[in-house]
Amino acid sequence: MEKEFVKIITENQGIIHKVCSVYCDSEEDRRDLFQEILTQLWKSYPSFRQEAKFTTWMYRVALNTAITTFKKTKRQPDQSGLTIENVQLANEEYDPTTDEQMRSLHQAVARLSGIEKSIILLFLENKSYEEIAEITGITQNYVRVKMNRIKNKLKKQMNTEG
């Protein structure tokens, strides 16, 4: 069972990395969340009933773990400070407009709630509303409603900043 688990996780670890990227700003936090997600996947692996695709189940466990962790850290003040990861060195291809837009979008996504981050992550992964509903455990109709609200929220936040 352990070898099978390691093989499947290795093949699909990109899912975990994407979830960690959306929920964590620092490399250290991403590593911590990655380990926490792996732990939760391992603990719940024996109960995986194969009623859904493995990747759907994996997304669900990863997102639930990230949301839980996100809620815990939101209660604590940010103590990150300036790190080398926060500093970008310029290169010849640097486009300040694109950089500003990406920074603005990243900040807007960072202000979303846990479930909203999950939905936008899955949407950006080109998951269908049906897949998003299955992964998040909410109805397809509610995914559509939430997606419209998220888009409006992001537009509003980005227009306020710009």
Give domain limits for the chain.
1-78, 94-162
**Is the model's pLDDT at 78 over the cut of 90?**
no
Can you give the pLDDT at residue 88? Answer: 44
pLDDT tens track for 52-74: 888 889 999 999 898 888 766 65
1-78: CATH number: 1.10.1740.10
Report percent pLDDT > 90 for the chain: 30
pLDDT tens track for 79-117: 444 444 444 444 445 455 666 777 777 888 888 888 898
Q: What is the mean pLDDT of residues 40-62?
A: 89
Fold of the domain spanning 94-162: Arc Repressor Mutant, subunit A (1.10.10)
Q: Where are the alpha helices (DSSP H) in the chain?
A: 2-23, 27-44, 54-74, 96-110, 114-124, 129-136, 140-161
The band of 23, judged by pLDDT with boundaries at 50, 70 and 90, is confident
CA–CA separation, 55 and 17 (whole Å): 13
Can you give the pLDDT at residue 22? Answer: 86
Can you give the pLDDT at residue 146? Answer: 93
pTM > 0.75: yes or no: no
Can you give the pLDDT at residue 124? Answer: 84
CA-to-CA dists, residue 120 to 51, 56, 64, 90, angstroms:
25, 16, 15, 29
Structure tokens at 92: 């010849």
Task: Quickly count: other Cβ atoms within 10 Å of residue 74's Cβ.
Answer: 11
Can you give the pLDDT at residue 99? Answer: 65
What SS3 class is residue 90?
coil
Structure tokens at 13: 């670890």
